[in-house]
Structure 1
Amino acid sequence: MSAPTKTRYTAKAAMESRWFKPLVVSLGIILVFGLAVLAARLLRNTQPVGDFIERYHGTTALPVDAPVGIPPWLGWQHFLNMFLMLFIIRSGWQIRNSSLPMNWRRKKPGRFLFKNPGKKINLAIWWHLSWDTLWVLNGVVFFALIFATGQWMRLVPLSWDVLPNALSVAIQYLSLDWPLENGWVNYNSLQILTYFLTVFIASPLAIVTGVRMSPAFQTRVPQANKLVPMSVTRRVHFIVMLWFAVFILVHVTLVFATGALRNLNHMYASQDNNDWIGFLIFSASLLVLVGGWFAASPVTIRYLASFSGNVTR
């Protein structure tokens, strides 16, 4: 009788382990991905889908005055956005798990949303809002430059043909037979739709919901909860965070899977070739990210927060 009891206990303990759910989810993702690849390869071998891909190869024409290439400032913007987004997601997760048992209170009152009438907030919230502020400022510069230089034309769908072309690209990607493309001149339609959703939909949603959840906004505009409940705002904000996380994962994977040296040269070296300069710059940027990650300890966060407020346990 003891053996079955031990087996049941072991199985129960395994299911209650903190690694059980992530393992099941990971295996489920792998299974779904494998089935999607199999389905895509089978579809590509059919006559209708083959004709569809031949007609919609994956890209749409840009205006004649659209810029060609990726300028150095866009490479810097890309790195800064990656750096800031890393700590925004990390600090947001710290808020969710309450991993910073300290509070922060402004030394001097600010104005409007930044006004803090003697109210303490968790240090994790201060840390998150600080990175949010830098990210928004970087975004303002980004929007100003893309509209001043015409780079916005490479990120915005300009015809309805982008939809069938995006579907064609998705089938080609899933079949693991990459579409022919040249991101230096024009992104494929699936990239355009993804970049558009990230830059012009997800990013504003992150800002609006983040401001709505900020303690200062709740103090200044208490009637907002009647229009948009906090539970809805938090759910949307979390979904946007998941979108960014999935986007980063897929984006990095495809950068390396579809020609790493050339893609890294486009974004980090502002040149269209296959040498190792972009890879070396990218490697240096990873060192900066790793260094920043380990430097952002609770002691460091408390020290930085002390410049603008009082930190207490």
Structure 2
Amino acid sequence: MTQIVLDYPAWLRIDHWLNVLFLTLLLRSGIEILSTHPKLYWREDSKPGTEWARFTTKTMPTDKLYDTLDEEEDYSPLVALPGHKKLGWGRHWHFISVIGWVLVGLSYYILLFATGQWHRYWPHSWATFVEAGNDVLTYMTFNLPPLLPNEPLDAIQKLTYAGVIFLLAPFQILTGAAQSPAIEARFPWFVRLWGGRQSARSLHFLGLVAFLAFIAIHVSMVFFWGWGQLNASMIFGSVRNVTLGTVLSFVIIGAIVAIHVAATVWSLRRPVQVRRILGAVITRARLMLLRPLDSRQDYPERMISEEHRVNGKPPCSAQYKVMAVHNFVDWRLRVGGLVEKPVTLDLAALRALAEPQSQRVLHNCVQGWSSIGEWKGLPLAALADLVRPLPQARFVCFLTMQDTGRDEPSAEGEGQFYEVMDLELAYKPQTILAYEMNGKPLPIKHGAPLRLRVETQVGFKMAKWINQIEFIDDHRGIGYGLGGWREDNVHYDKDVEI
């Protein structure tokens, strides 16, 4: 067997094991996120039937209204974190792992170049590519190819590491960022670089598959080249104390597995605690990096989606049905709370308040699907200027006519649907109270007579069937106090720029 000469510095060994931890957390939480809409598209409208890949056996009805929550799959905790259709917790683990992985990656890149270790992984000659082809043929005969001169890797290993370090890892970060509503809203050109939001999601998934393939091949190569020697080098920095190195490597792997088990059990048993602790870090990073971004979307009319998926079922109360039959002439919007001038408006008065604002924008659902629509309505800032919030007002609460226990009994909770957002979002350029969609009165299934549009946020924040708006200083006394019905019951984040 070829003699292996390795000399891994301490920082590289530490980063290696941290990378294993965060990457595996990302993989499992990513599978959880995929489970909530287990279909992949290239087209921006996510039109049913146009998916290029699906990981579900469900068939949706064509003769009655269904919403996208009906498309969720229940993946096992053995593969998903935490599993069992827990998107809220999956998002928390995914984003905290992103933060950890990026920080580890930054330290890795800085030290890689500062210490000259990058030469080990960068192909300096085209001959390396030719030799890599020969190495593949050698591996296919179940033999080991020779190492490159004065290097610890063969040619195909060197190219593989270069691809993962310098291409695949940045690729995953960039395609992940392209799925952020705030980034998409502020920098539409960046998302178009990837072919659109759905293309970015599909490419991100393919990147996940590439990482899985790399892990499988990498572990196989460790066995082929010498499990004991390579593990010892990743523990001690060089090939020595092989037995102890092997034992310690299994201890570290066991600790990583234990962290996964603990994360799964913790999420399923103490979800509020998970949300509070992980959310404290995630929210701070999100507000610092993404909250300052304003939406600048203006999609061409030709890109408007033929079909806009439905999330959430309309109110089925007799009162709502009567209002709908009469085109909502009896509907009223009550606006109050911590304001100088509370008002009650009918639809005509609301329309007359200010010049309507139209915007053709991309709708980003928390489940992963998207569509492009044209929305027209009253800028929320104009309504705020009318009622004049008091200085102590910090949030806006949107109350709706939907009662989930009555209208959507399959939902994971009951009570009036509501959402809370920070007051500063009311003054964002494309935050409106929409009463028209694609040039027509707002359809019932999409929130008639009034819904919120705040284009730097994920779709579930855009409350539908609104009949009351309250300006408040604290949302902890509403519902379970977490900032919205979905936040209370399925533990989504209150602030969702991604």
Normalising TM by the smaller chain, what interval?
0.5 to 0.7
C-alpha displacement at 1:216, in angstroms?
A: 3.5
Q: Is 1:210 aligned with 2:176?
A: yes
Counterpart contact for 1:69–1:184, Cα < 8 Å: no
Contact 2:147 2:155 in 1 (8 A): no
**Paired residues for 1:70-85 under 5 Å:** 70-85=8-23
**CA displacement at 1:226 relative to structure 2:** 5.0
Question: 1:263 aligned to 2:250?
Answer: no
Superposition TM-score, scaled by structure 2 size: 0.43
The answer for unaligned runs of 5 or more in structure 2 is 37-82, 284-481, 490-498
Aligned residues: 230
Which residue identity lines up with residue 130 of structure 2 in the other structure?
P
Alignment partner of 1:160 is 2:336: no
* Superposition deviation, residue 221 in structure 1: 4.0
Q: 2:149 and 2:183 mapped to 1: Cα distance? A: 41
Q: What letter matches 2:260 in structure 1?
A: W
Equivalent residues of 1:100, 1:124 under 8 A apart: no
1:219 Cα deviation after fit: 4.7
The one-character-per-residue Cα deviations of 1:45-70 (angstroms, maximum 9, x if unpaired) are xxxxxxxxxxxxx9xxxxxxxx9721
**Bigger Cα Rg:** 2
Asked whether the 8 Å contact 2:232–2:245 carries over to 1, the reply is yes
Q: RCO greater where, 1 or 2, for CA within 8 Å and sep 6 or more?
A: 1
The structure carrying a bigger strand percent of its residues is: 2
Residues 47-196 of structure 1: matches in 2 within 5 Å? 69-98=7-36, 99=83, 122-181=88-147, 185-196=151-162
Cα distance in 2 for partners of 1:223, 1:123 equals: 31
Is the deviation greater in 224-233 or in 162-171?
224-233
CA offsets, 1:80-110, max 9 Å, x none? 001100000000000001356567xxxxxxx
Shift of 1:180: 3.7
Q: State the AA in 2 paired with 1:232.
A: S
Q: CA deviation at 1:184?
A: 9.2
Q: Deviations over 1:253-274 (max 9, x none)?
A: 1101221111111222211246
Which is helix-richer, 1 or 2?
1
RMSD over aligned Cα atoms: 2.6
Distance 2:96 2:221 in 1: 31
Within a 5 Å distance, the mapping from 1:234-249 to structure 2 comes to 234-249=201-216
Cα deviation for residue 179 of structure 1 reads 2.2
Distance in 2 between residues matched to 1:91 and 1:136, nearest whole Å: 16
- Flag the 1:220–1:184 CA change in 2: closer, same or farther, 3 A: same
Q: 2:273 matched to 1:303?
A: yes
Distance 1:123 1:93, change over 3 A: same
Letter in 2 for 1:157: P
Distance in 2 between residues matched to 1:84 and 1:274, nearest whole Å: 27
Show structure 1 runs of 5+ residues with no match.
Answer: 1-57, 59-66, 104-121
1:134 and 1:90 mapped to 2: Cα distance? 15
- Provide closer, same or farther for how the CA distance between residues 288 and 302 of structure 1 changes in structure 2, counting only shifts above 3 A: farther
* 1:76 partner letter: I
**Alpha-carbon offset, residue 217 of structure 1:** 2.4
